[in-house]
Amino acid sequence: MFRRAVAAALAATALTGTATAQKAGPGQNCPKDAPCCGLYMDCGVGAFCVQGCDPVHSHSLEACLPNPQCKSGDFKLNSLDDVQSIDKYLGDASKVNWVSQGKPVVFEDSILLTMAEGTVGTLLSSAHYIWYGKICARMTTSQGKGVVTAFIMMSDAKDEIDFEWVGVDIANVQSNYYSQGVTVYTNSRNLSIPGGNSVEQEHEYCIDWKPDTLTWAIDGKELRTVNRKDTWNSTSNRFDYPQTPSRIMLSLWPAGLPTNAKGTIDWAGGEIDWNSPYMSNGYYYAQIKSVSVECYDPPSGAKGKGQKSYVYTDRAATNNTVELSDKQVILGSLYATGEDPQEGASTASNAPKPTKSVNLVPGGNPGGGGRGDGADSSDPAATDAPDGQGAGGGNNGGNNGFSQNDGKGAGTSLQPGLGKVGGGAVAIVVAVLGLIVL
């Protein structure tokens, strides 16, 4: 079923005062002044170069920052101290383990991914990448028509492994995998959830990703396994198997927006009801309690011996083009790129910002993976990004119940230059990163 949600037409109609989007595509890489290619083929600088930077369609392999190597651990998601918003994270994975888009909120001993009307939800992604490993999330999901909760692995080359919960079916979760962005929906399989309820009952969902096998499990029970040897594609002369370093992405996103493709809306169970009884204080939410990561050894024959990062050595972007490296790059500002890491950096607090009009932060909610909405990104010259707190920032939303405020900590990421959208009925789809309630 065709489910890819494309919001380019929406963005062109609704966004005012933004930079002219530069796009990459087959045979056309991003230009030098916006060298980094995002998930939806938009070109930009800053956050475009840090995470989700496509090595195939960027201006050069050097434009994208090296991917920080895998970090094993049991991560208790009970505060925002270890979370930094996407417009503040410049690639230093030694300071934080998680990067946010939208508005995560602390509630009791967990983090809520929230989604209010007029927003595209919330994404929490790992700062470290994983090149094979076992990744588990303890969580509950959201519920309702058009509402999708996701726990996926996504590489910069668009290899993808999915758990997806469609809000009209809380008894099952969809498992799927893709290779290099080719969305073969026949790969999807439904997995039954023990007890038949993903909303009220907390479960542990695990992805066990090895060079030759890929397994999905719930509460310790293996429910599906894919063998790499069975994924050979004679047309492309390669295995259609996820094989490149990937980050963890936990998200809540609105597949049922009326502006999405009909196939996407139908798959999600219909258009979203913004007066749903499944909302709390005006928000849909999914609850993430913890994530555990067990890093596996790199695949046999991997290039290099570095212990700090993964880098691509060829635009083919397959596992034999990934090198283990000690290279680390941290951007000096949100105007910088891997090709010019210190662009816009200055020690003077009153130093002028660069004036070029270029996209700084990817739009949409990439947590939807191959089905997420792509949207244009903004012009930094229009308005400044909010003063966000970085690592160690305050608990946006607090610990005393589920309520949201206008705090500007790690849980809030207003895209520079993007406020409310003007014009017509489509104007309710706003603030690609900001979760601004109209």
Supply the pLDDT for residue 227: 98
Rounded percentage of the chain residues whose pLDDT exceeds 70: 76
Average pLDDT (218-227) is 98
Of the two residues 365 and 67, the one the predictor is more confident about is 67
Question: Of 27 and 193, which is predicted with more confidence?
Answer: 193
3-state secondary structure the chain: CCCCCECHHHHHHHCCCCCCCCECECCECCCCCCCEECCCCEEECCHHHHCCCCCCCCCCHHHCCCEECCCCEEEECCCCCCEEECCCCCCCCCCCCEEEECCEEEECCEEEEEEECCCCCEEEEECCCECCEEEEEEEECCCCCCEEEEEEEEECCCCEEEEEEECCCCCEEEEEEEECCECCHHHCEEEECHHHCCCCCCEEEEEEECCCEEEEEECCEEEEEEEHHHHEECCCCEECCCCCCEEEEEEEEECCCCCCCHHHHHHCCCCCCCCCCCCECCEEEEEEEEEEEEECCCCCCCECCCCCEEEECCCCCCHHHEEEECCCCCCCCCCCCCCCCCCCCCCCCCCCCCCCCCCCCCCCCHHHHHHCCECCCCCCCCCCCCCCCCCCCCCCCCCCCCCCCCCCCCCCCCCCCCCCCCCCHHHHCCCCCCCCCC
Q: Which residues are catalytic?
A: 160, 164
Architecture of the domain made up of 69-295: Sandwich (2.60)
Higher pLDDT: 114 or 377? It is: 114
Average pLDDT over residues 329-333: 97
pLDDT at 430: 24
For the residues 392-411, what does the mean pLDDT come to?
Answer: 33
Can you tell me the mean pLDDT for 325-331?
A: 98
User: pLDDT class for 378, splitting at 50, 70, 90?
Assistant: very low
- pLDDT for the residue numbered 20: 57
Residue 315 has pLDDT above 90, yes or no: yes
The residue extents of the domains of the chain are: 69-295
pTM: 0.81
